[in-house]
Amino acid sequence: MENFWDILTWGAWIGAAALLLWMILDAIRVNREYSEELLISSREGADELLEADKKGGK
């Protein structure tokens, strides 16, 4: 049982490090492959209510 908890503890450290590393590497790859202008091009949400308002609906 002692070994089980030691393995679980190391597994948690290694798993966490692997996941964080994956995200950082992916973010770096995305930053290189796409222009900054495109990445920050999002505009505040549009919904069918917004569309109705644009068309003059209430």
Partner 1 sequence: MAAETTAGKTERINLLKVLGPVHVWALGVGIVLVGEYMGWNFSVQKGGAYGSLIACLFIGLLYTCVAMIDSEVTSTVAAAGGQYAQAKHIVGPLMAFNVGLYLVLAYTMLEAADALVVGDLMATVAGQTGHDGLDPRPFVVFTVAILAWLNYRGVFMTLTVNFVITAIAFFALVVLLIGVKPWNPGEILMHSELLTDLPYGWIGVVAALQFGMWYYLGIEGTCQAAEEVRSAGRSIPLGTMSGMITLLIAAIITWYMAVGLMPWEYLGQTFLPMYDAAVLTDNTFLIVVLFIGTIFSAIASANGCINDASRAWFSMGRDRYLPIWFAAVHPRYRTPYRAILFLVPVAIAFGFTGLLDQVITFSILSGLLGYTFMSLNMMAFRRKWPLGSIKRGYIHPFHPLPALSLLVLCAATYFATFLGYGASLLAIMAFFIVASVWFHFHRYKFVRRADQFTMPWPKPKGY
Site residues (vs partner 1, CB under 8 A): 1-2, 5, 8-10, 12-13, 15-17, 19-20, 22-24, 26-27, 30, 34, 36, 38-50, 52-54, 57-58
Neighbours of 5 (CB within 10 A): 9
Q: How far is CA 17 from CA 8, 10, 27, 38, in A?
A: 14, 11, 15, 29
Q: How near is the Cβ of 57 to partner 1 at its closest, in Å?
A: 7
Q: How near is the Cβ of 33 to partner 1 at its closest, in Å?
A: 8
Q: How near is the Cβ of 25 to partner 1 at its closest, in Å?
A: 11
Task: Give the span between the Cα atoms of 34 and 32, in whole angstroms.
Answer: 6
